[in-house]
Structure 1
Amino acid sequence: MRFLLIDRINDFRPGEYISATKSVSLAEEYLQDHFPGFPILPGVLMVECLTQAAAWLMRLSEDFKYSTILLKEAKAVKFNSFVSPGQSINIECTLAKREGNLYTFKATGTRGDTSVVSARITLEQSNIADSNPKMAASDETQREFFRSLAAGLWTPPAA
C-alpha cells in the first residue's frame, strides 16, 4: 500500500526549504482503527509526512533526476500533540546537510501554532538502474509518476 500524504506544496526554495500541508479526513481508512472513538493521525504517518515533504524538496530541486528516495534515519523524533480529522498538519523541512546522495533535514509539523511533531531525518536518493541497468525504464516510470503528482501539488509563482 502506498500512502501519498502531501496534499499541497505551499512554498519551495530549491535546495533549501519546503512547506507543505496534509489535511486529515475521517474518510482515511486507517483512522477507523486508530483509535475507535478517538481518531488521530498515527505518529508513524506524521513522520511519513515529514519524510514525503523532504522527498518533494529533493525531487523538485533535482528536477526528478532520481527515481527512488528512501528514509535512512530519523533522529530526535518528538510527538507533541494530536492531529484529528478535519485538521491539517503544516510541514516545514529545511536542508541541514548534504553528503553525496544523502540529505539531512530539520523537519517540523504544526497544527496552527501548536507543534505536533519534529525530527531530524536523513534521506537517500538513487536510481534502480545504478545497481541494475536493465531497470532504467522502471526509473523513468517512477520519475514520470512523481512529475505528474507534482503538477497537482505545486504551482510555481508567476515570474
Structure 2
Amino acid sequence: MHFSLIDRITSLTPGESITAVKNLSLAEEYLADHFPGFPVMPGVLMIESMVQAGAWLMRHTEEFRYSTVLLKRARGVRFNNFLRPGHTLEVTVDVHEIGEASWVVKGKGTVEGKSAVSARLTLEQFNLRDRNPAMAESDAERVKWLQSKFRQLWTVPVT
C-alpha cells in the first residue's frame, strides 16, 4: 500500500463487519494539489479507505491465507460530503456475500456523523505464487508484514 488510509481498526467481527478510522492531516502530501486553498481528501482515496478496511476484514477472517486483496469492482458509488484536514473518516464495511476468491461488501464512510461516501465493492483475494510460483517467497514476506501491520491497527478489546 502506498497510501495507508486506515489509522486504526475500532471494531471487527470476522466474516461480518469492520469499522475503522482515517484521521486526515494537512501533512498528507496529496492535499497540496487537491485542491490549493481548499484541501479535501480525493473521492477515490475515500473509496480506497473502504477497500483497505474490507481487505483487513478479509485477511483476518481468512487467517491471512492470501497475500493480496484488490478491488475488482465498485458499484453504486456516492459522494455526499467533503473530508477536510482535522476531520476523521469513519469507515464501516459489511459483508454482503462471500465467495471463494472474492467478497462483495457494502462500505460507507461518515464524517461527523454525516454520510461522506458509500459503495458496493467486490474485492478479490489471491496469492502471487498461484500466478507465478517464483513469487512464493515474496508471498510469505508480504503476509508476515501484513500480520505485523494488522497488530498495529487492531487491538482486541479486553472483556
**TM tier relative to shorter chain:** over 0.9
**Match in the other structure for 2:32:** 32
Moved more, 116-125 or 135-144: 135-144
1:62 paired residue number: 62
- Give the fraction of aligned pairs with identical amino acids, expressed as a percent: 50
* SS of structure 2 residue aligned to 1:39: coil
Matched, 1:135 2:101: no
How many residues matched? 159
Does 2:106 match 1:106? yes
Q: 1:158, CA displacement in angstroms?
A: 2.6
- Pairwise CA RMSD: 1.0
State the 4+ residue runs in structure 1 displaced beyond 2 angstroms.
none
Describe the superposition over 1:46-92 as per-residue Cα deviations: whole angstroms up to 9, x where unpaired.
00001000001001111111000010000000000100000000000
TM-score after normalising by structure 1: 0.97
CA-to-aligned-CA distance 1:74-119 (integer Å, 9 cap, x gap) = 0000000100000000000000001211100010000121000000
Q: Distance in 1 between matches of 2:44 and 2:17?
A: 22
Per the normalisation by structure 2, the TM-score is: 0.97
Q: State the match for 1:96 in structure 2.
A: 96
Aligned positions of 1:73-92 closer than 5 A? 73-92=73-92
What CA deviation, in whole Å up to 9, does each residue of 1:3-50 have, x standing for no partner?
111000000000100000000000000001100000000000000001
Q: Which runs of 5+ in 2 are unaligned?
A: none
